[in-house]
Structure formats: C-alpha cells, structure tokens
Chain A
Amino acid sequence: MAIRNLLGGDNFITSRLDDVIGWARKYSIFVYPFVTACCGMEYMSVAGPQYDLDRFGAALPRFTPRQADLLFVVGTISQKMAPILRRIYDQMCEPKWVIAFGVCTCTGGFYNNYATVQGIDTIIPVDVYIPGCPPRPETVLQGLMLLQEKIQKQKQEY
C-alpha cells in the first residue's frame, strides 16, 4: 500500500502545519455564488452533473456570506449593485477568497458605460480572474484549481 509506505510503517507523518491546514482548506471550500447575470447560466452548468463542482470539494453553496469562504462573483456588477457586493464581502469571515467569474467582473467587459463597474477589483480584492463571456465550465474549473493551489501555498492564518 502506497499510503503505508508514505507513513513509513508508523501511523504518523511529518508536515508543516501550514501545509496541512492549506490542504484541508482547499478541499472544503464553501461557495457564496453572487449570481447577477448571464454567467449564472454557466455557473449552473458548472454546478450541474456534467462538470460537477463537487469533485473539488466546492459544491455546497452557502447563501449567507457568514458561512462562506469563497465569493464567486458571477456576472456584471452595475453601479447600483456595487455597494451590495461590498457589503456581502465585508460580511464574510476570514479567511476568504474571491473569484471574478466572467469578463464583466474582471474588467467590465464590453460594457464600458455609465452603468457598469469596470472590474470588481475596484471594489473588493480578487484572488482569481476567470475571463470569458461567459467562461466555459472547463475554464471555471481551471480557475478553481488555481485558487486551490493558491490556498495550499499561502500562509495560513488560524
């Protein structure tokens, strides 16, 4: 058994605490889907049976920001919506991450007009940007894996 070998025959392994916590955190992401627009359709597909977000330990959406670790900002953020997004981000507990899902959240996309926020990073910090209009589910999964990598490598606060 490979795991036996890894354990060296005894029932312990040595690791850095940061690594262990990071490993635990990256596979138990609770998502808050802040779905506003078109990208929500692809979010449904990602969460649906074919692409299955569950494989990454990130399937269970929490619809209160106080229980969520990851804020998925899915879709265009308008000037009217921006304060609400900011409030929801503020309500989330540390540690928290943000994924900008779709090009509108990254830069405003092709909506360069009076009503649209030109990228949510003008309001809240963003960890991973997933461009695309809307991004394909595969792109989203890649973005999520990048975030997992980031969570694993970051300095853990506990």
Chain B
Amino acid sequence: MSFLENLVTQFPDKIKILPHARGEHVLEVERHILPTVCAYLKNEHHPRFNFLMDLAGVDYSAFGAPTQVAAYTGANDPVSKPTAQDFSLNTHRERFAVVYNLFAWPEKLRLRLQVPVPELNPETPTVSHLWSGANWFEREVWDMFGIRFKGHPDLRRILLYDEFKGHPLRKDYPITRRHPLVDNQKAEAPFQAQNHHAAPFRIKIPEPGKQTQNMLLNIGPSHPAMHGVIHVFTELDGEKIQKADIGIGYLHRAFEKDAENVTWTQVFPYTDRLNYVSPLLNNVGYAMAVEKVMGLQTTERCQYIRVLMSEISRITDHLTCIAASTMEVGAMTAFLYFVKVRDMFYELIEEITGARLTVSYVRIGGVKADLTPEFPAHLQKVLVELRIAMKEMHALVTRNRIFVDRMKGLGVTDKETAIDYGFTGPFLRSTGIDYDVRKAEPYLVYDQLDFDIPYGQYGDNYDRYLVRMEEMEQSVRLIEQCMQKLQKMPGAPLNVDYEGKEIPASKMADLGKYGYTKGLLQIHALTDPTLSGGNAWLHDNIFPTDAKGVVLPAKEKTYGSIEGLMNHFMLIMEGYGIQPPPGDAYHAVEGANGELGFYVISDGKGQPYRVRVRPPCFALMSGFHKVIEGDMIADLIATFGTVNMIAGELDR
C-alpha cells in the first residue's frame, strides 16, 4: 500500500489520488480540510513533508479552449480537444487551483497537492502558519490570480504595486493591459506618511511623545550595494536592525504571462533572463520539465553536454556572487580577479552557444549545437586560469582578518528556519543540510559522475562563502569528467565539400538555399557542428532521432529534402510546432541558488498553458528578514551579498 493510499484512508472522501502519467505523486484535496491535511503531512506523517517547495496558482478557465490556429497533428483530421478528465488536472472543473509542491527531506519524497478553488468565492485557507515560506508564495498567488488566503497574516500585493488593478495571470487579463505609472510622490510615501504601515509596510511607527524611538530606514530599491533591485525597509535601534521587511517586484517582467503567449520553444529566451547569471541552468530546467511532460529522452551525448554547460554556468554564477560580495566588504581586487576569469568563461560559452550571457542554448529534446573541436583545449586553459584565480582569492580573503570579521558569525541561520522558509542551495547547505537536487534526485547523468556536496556548519556568511568556493571545485571536477566522456563519444568532424576540401558550414547552407543539393546527403559531407550550420550525423548525436515532432531537422535535411523542409516548417509555424500531450509535470534542477523547479502545464497546444518557476531566490528573500534581524545595519550588506539574490529570478 503506497503512502498515497494510506493518506486517502486517513481522510476518506476528502482527498483523492490523481493518476499521473509521469509517476509523480499527486493528490486532490478539498480546500476546507487543507490545513488539517497539511498539518498532518508536516508533523505526523512518515516521512514528514518538511519543505514547502512551491505554491502556485493555476487558472483553468481557458483550458482546452480552441486557439485561432488549428493545431497540427500530422493528419488532416480535426483535432480532438483534450478534456480535463483526460489526465490528472483539475477534475472538479473549478476555475482556479492552488498547487502545493511538498518535499520530504531526508527521505527525498515529493508530493503535490492540488486544491480546486471556485471562481465565485476564490478563497482557500492559508498554510503560512505551517510553513513560513508560504507567506510570500500566497501573497504572490493573491497578486497574480486574486485568490484570497483565509487567515493569512499580511495579504497584500507583492510583485505588483498597490495601484495595479486586476490580477494579470488570470486568463482573461490581456497581456499588454498597462496601468498608468504611479505618482512620483507615492514612492516616498513610506518616509512621509504617518500611517504608512497601513498600506505598504507592516512596521509600526512608535507613538509620539515617547522618549526613544526606533529609526526607520529605507535601503533600496536603487542602492549601491544592492545587486539587483530590492527594497529593504528596516527599523533600527541605534545601528541594530530590530525589524526588517523586504519589498520586491521592481523587476517584475511577467515571465509567466509571457510564457503563456509564445510557443514552447520561444520560452527559452525568457528563461535566460530569469537567473541571468547562470542562464544555462534555467534553460536546462525548463527543457527537462517540458521533456518530462512529453516523456522524451535525450541522447547520452546531449546529457553530458548539458551537465557540462550547467556546471560552467554554475561556476560563472558563483564567481559573480563571490566577486560582488567580497567587493561589498572592500575587497575590490578580489572582484577584479574573479570578473576577469568570468569573462574568460563567457568567451568559452560564446564559442559554443553564440552568446555571452543570454544564450538560449538548450532545445526541447537536445541542445542547439555540439562542442567545437577547439573547445577542450580552450576549456583547459580557462580552468587553469580559474584555479589560479581561486588560489589568489583564498590567499587574498579567506584568512584575511577584515574579511573574516565581516563574515563569521553574521547572517546566521539555523536548520529549522532554513527548512521552514524553504531555503535551498548553498544557503541551505551552509546550515549543515546537504540537500542538493543533483544528488538527491539525480537528473541527466549526475548519477554517473563523481562529485561531493560541500556543506557548512554554522549557517553564517563565511560558511556560504566557503560552500560556494568548494562548489566551484566540485564543478570543475564534473566538467573534467564530462570532457573525458565526451571525447570518447563521436566527436566533431571537419567540414568537407564534394572534392574533399574543407568548407564553412554557412557556405554549405547557402548551397542548399540555392538548390545545389545534389549529393549533399549522399556523400556524407559534414558541416560544422556548431552554430553556423547543421550536421545530420552529429545532429543525431545530440538529438533523439525518433522525436520528429520536437526536434528541428538538421540543416542539410531542411535544405536538401522536401521531408526535412516540411518538418522544419511545421515546427516553426505558429500554432503548429511542438505540442506536448495534455498534462503537467514538476521538474527541479539544482540551480546556482538552490532548487530551481519548473511546473509546466500543457493543454496539448502549441503554447504552454502555464509555466511556473519555483525561484530559489524567492524563498531565500522571504526569510531574509529573519537572517538580518539582530545584526548591524552594515552587516546587512555583507549578508545580502552572500545570499546572492538575482532580481530576474526573484521577480520574474
């Protein structure tokens, strides 16, 4: 008897198991007993679901509705519209649903609760008393969907501003409906208005006539030491932070709304800009979530390349974080050393992907291009540079008195708080919990590679710094193992034309465009495997050959045969293209800041029905006030640096 069936017997008639095509554990829970179920799951159930990883809303009102362009199914017969009964989504057919992704550590068990919420009275009980991290997640659902949470201590907008009317992630909200910009004076309201705590912030101003009063201080949204836009509102007693509140949403770019309005492939550029310090990790996370919905398996070579690029991305992220956070405490030299190496990594990434930063490298079912022949040599050089820079960094700051004094014992978080708020990644590991998605639920080929998970002890700034430094070492280990494996696999050949001369791939593609395709495929001429062209043989190494409805054909096939051309055309045309079967999936990868989860819902169309990101920063910042309360105001800057908040991911 599975634990799901046990649960159903525990709460008969109130919850039911929803079958899931990809083997995820999903339960539908009636909203009235949700707090009881959650309390049971968190405190009494074995294993205890101590993490609330994600909480998201879904608006099902347009589910399965016909789009303007008829969907392409490969035949001329009319498309059968998926109904909600087809799969495990929203069987009650209520308009809204709130989805809770729970995680049990250390048992590594995931459970998803789906709570239908009717349109007329969109209200559901809060779970913020069980998991503190739910506070912000619920505020976001209120902001985006207008679902109220009964009993929530502080239900107000989080990503948008108070003057905003409507709830943009509802399906009937047009994506471009803007509201007038707020009055300039309102931005300074927290300082001027006496009753400001009524609206934007919940800190009370002391009564007049008292002898002492705490000072209120705004830090941000535009502040030199704040990497990314964030508003920290502090109440100070002298220099000590008594209370803090965090205001976010200054970089809200409507990722989730945008994703619903483009095709599945077009979401990739948007994912680049979530955590823009490690875009490749976001690419991989999204692609794997979609592949999970489709039940698609990528090739082995592709998986190694993905791991390789992910780890390179992780290194650039940690380099940036450490560079910036050391700069904040005065180590400008350290910043310069690390940024120099980071630039080398950017050039390396550019060699493979064509872009330094916003790469859009991963595709559903594969990656955009194979490694270049020169790549291993270049990588070796850069890794040597990285090792030198890390050695210099250790020599400069790791035992530097000034640095250590600003880092040790500050921004301390204990394990319970970290779990309560859903912290993940280096932050969680610094407290001594070695949870890492790469080990806990190995995806891609992480289970075949040898690496360690560094973790700290005290949960302070210094531990976070050390964890990040060590993680870079481990990433280098992973990269080297991947390179060894990749070099044993079929590698990148040279381009040759009919006469055996080397030609650039772009020229070959041009030949194809002009119709000089005779013999192009027969002679097994190979184009450059990288950016400028396709390569049928190598293409098959990085894309599964049987997934015709997903993967763009190699360029030779597109230009050289009518089948290839049609295949390409159908995938590119709007309303055709990739159409995952109706269903949903949650897939998490280990982002640079923690668990980066993508919850994807498809209704069988060419556009995603819903793409929800579980941003690690969001959970981190929701508990940030706990981390800084009690510290000095100057330590806030040092602590903030080691949290590594990335606004693009935080506000989406």
Q: Give me the interface of A with B, judged by CB distance under 8 Å.
A: 34-38, 40-42, 44-45, 48-50, 61, 63, 75-76, 78-84, 86-88, 110-117, 123, 133-134, 136
Asked if B252 lies at the interface with its beta carbon under 8 angstroms from chain A, I say: yes
Complex Cα gap A112–B177 (Å):
10
Q: When chains A and B are docked, how far (Å) is the Cα of A116 from the Cα of B229? A: 15
- Output the least CB separation between A82 and chain B (Å): 5
Select from chain B the residue with minimum beta-carbon distance to A52.
B336
Which residue of the partner chain, among A41, A48, A88, A114, contacts B178 with CB atoms under 8 Å? A114
Known: A63-B224, A83-B183, A134-B357. A45 touches B336 (CB 8 A): no
Q: Identify 9 residue pairs between A and B in the complex whose beta-carbon atoms are under 8 Å apart, listed by A's number.
A: A36-B647, A38-B357, A40-B228, A48-B335, A78-B249, A83-B183, A110-B269, A113-B175, A114-B257
- Indicate the size class of the contact surface on chain B: 35 or more
Q: Point out the residue from A80, A88, A113 that lies within 8 Å of B250, measured CB to CB.
A: A80
Known: A111-B254, A113-B253, A114-B177; 7 extra A-B contacts, CB below 8 A, are A41-B277, A41-B320, A78-B252, A79-B164, A81-B250, A111-B253, A114-B179
Inter-chain contacts of A45 with B (CB < 8 A): 339, 342-343, 346, 356
Partner of B336, one of A41, A49, A87: A49
Contact in complex: B254, A115 (CB < 8 Å):
yes
Does B177 lie within 8 Å of A79, measured CB to CB? Answer: no
Which residues of chain A are within 8 angstroms of B182 by Cβ–Cβ distance? 79-80, 83
CA distance A80 to B254 in the complex (A): 12
Give B272's nearest chain A residue, CB to CB.
A38
**Nearest CB of A to B645, in Å:** 12
Q: How far is the CB of B427 from chain A (nearest CB, A)?
A: 21
Q: Is B518 an interface residue (CB 8 A)?
A: no
Which chain B residue has the least Cβ–Cβ distance from A117? B181
Decide if the interface of chain A is mainly helix, strand, loop or mixed: loop
Complex formed: what's the CA distance from A44 to B228 in Å?
13
B168 within 8 A of A: yes
> Are B177 and A50 within 8 A (Cβ)?
no
Nearest to A86 among chain B residues (CB) is B184
Specify the chain B residue showing the minimal Cβ separation from A62: B224
B161 CB contacts on chain A under 8 angstroms: 79-80
- Is B69's beta carbon under 8 Å from chain A? no
Q: Which residues of A contact B164 (CB under 8 A)?
A: 79
| Interchain nearest-CB distance for B277 vs A (Å) | 6
Complex contacts, A79 vs chain B, CB 8 Å: 161, 164, 178-179, 181-182
Question: Which residues in B have their C-beta under 8 angstroms from that of A88?
Answer: 222
The 5 closest A-B pairs by CB, nearest first: A63-B224, A38-B276, A48-B339, A113-B254, A115-B254
- Chain B: residues with CB nearer than 8 A to chain A? 160-161, 164, 168, 173-179, 181-184, 186-188, 221-224, 227-229, 249-254, 257-258, 269-270, 272-273, 276-277, 320, 323-324, 335-336, 339-340, 342-343, 346, 356-358, 647-648, 651
Chain A residues with CB under 8 A of B358: 38, 133-134
A86 to B272, CA, bound (A): 28
CA distance A156 to B323 in the complex (A): 39
Chain B contacts of A42 at CB under 8 A?
356-357
A88–B222 Cα distance when bound, in Å, is 9
By a CB distance below 8 angstroms, the chain A residues around B356 are: 42, 45, 136
Chain B residues whose CB sits within 8 angstroms of the CB of A36 once the complex forms: 228-229, 250-251, 647
A44–B339 touching, CB < 8 Å: yes
CA distance A78 to B161 in the complex (A): 11
Contact A48 B186 (CB under 8 A): no
- Residues of chain A within 8 A (CB-CB) of B221 are 81, 84
Known contacts A63-B224, A134-B357; A80 and B339 CB within 8 A of each other:
no
Cβ of A37: which chain B residues have Cβ within 8 Å of it? 228, 251, 253, 273, 276, 647-648
**Contacting B253 at CB < 8 Å: which of A41, A49, A63, A115?**
A115
Distance A79 CA – B175 CA, assembled complex (angstroms)? 14
**Alpha-carbon distance between A42 and B183 when the two chains are bound, in angstroms:** 31
Q: What's the nearest-Cβ distance from chain A to residue B331, in Å?
A: 14
* Given A44-B320, A113-B176, residue A75 in contact with residue B251 (CB < 8 A): yes
- Contact check, A80 vs B252: say whether CB atoms are below 8 A apart: yes
Shortest Cβ distance from residue B261 to the other chain A in the assembled complex, whole angstroms: 8
In whole angstroms, how far apart are the Cα atoms of A134 and B356 in the complex? 9
Q: Known contacts A41-B320, A45-B343, A48-B340; decide if A116 and B253 are in contact (CB<8 Å).
A: yes
What B residues does A40 contact at CB under 8 A? 227-228
Question: In the assembly, what is the distance between CA of A40 and CA of B251, in Å?
Answer: 13
Roughly how many angstroms separate A81 CA and B647 CA in the complex, as a whole number?
Answer: 12
Interfacial chain B residues near A75, Cβ < 8 Å? 251
CB of A98 to closest CB in B, whole Å = 15
> What distance in Å separates the Cβ of B326 from its nearest Cβ neighbour in chain A?
13
Cα separation A133 to B357 with both chains bound (whole Å): 9
B184, B223, B227, B253 pick with most chain A CB within 10 angstroms: B253
The interface centre, meaning the residue of B168, B224, B324 with most chain A CB atoms within 10 A of its CB, is: B224
Residue in B249, B276, B335 whose CB lies within 8 Å of A41? B276
Q: How far is the CA of A48 from the CA of B188 in the complex (A)?
A: 34
Kindly list chain B residues whose C-beta atoms are within 8 Å of the C-beta of A38. 272-273, 276, 357-358, 648
A104 to chain B, nearest CB (A): 8
A115 to chain B, nearest CB (A): 4
The answer to whether A114 and B222 touch across the interface, beta carbons within 8 angstroms, is no
Contact between chains at A78 and B251 (CB < 8 Å): yes
Residues on B with beta carbons closer than 8 Å to the beta carbon of A115: 160, 168, 252-254
Interfacial chain A residues near B335, Cβ < 8 Å: 48
The answer to whether residues A49 and B340 also contact, given A36-B251, A78-B250, A115-B252 and a CB cut-off of 8 A, is: yes
| Residues of chain B with a CB closer than 8 A to A63's CB | 223-224
Contacts of B229 in A (CB 8 A): 36, 81
* Cα of A81 to Cα of B248 in the assembled complex, Å: 10
B269 CB contacts on chain A under 8 angstroms:
110
| Distance in angstroms between the alpha carbons of A9 and B160 in the assembled complex | 66
Query: A41 to chain B: which residues have CB within 8 Å?
Result: 276-277, 320, 357
* Shortest distance from the beta carbon of B403 to any chain A beta carbon, whole Å: 20
Report the Cα distance A50→B582, complex, angstroms: 49
Of all chain A residues, which has the CB nearest B652? A115
Across the two chains, which residue of chain B brings its CB closest to A88?
B222
B184 contact set on A, CB distance < 8 A: 83, 86-87
Neighbour of A112 across the interface among B176, B323, B343, CB < 8 A: B176
In the complex, the answer to whether B253 meets A78 with C-beta atoms within 8 Å is: yes
- In the complex, the chain A residue whose C-beta lies closest to that of B338 is A48
Give bound CA distance, A35 to B160, whole Å: 19
Known contacts A36-B647, A50-B343, A113-B257; is-contact A82 B251 (Cβ 8 Å): no
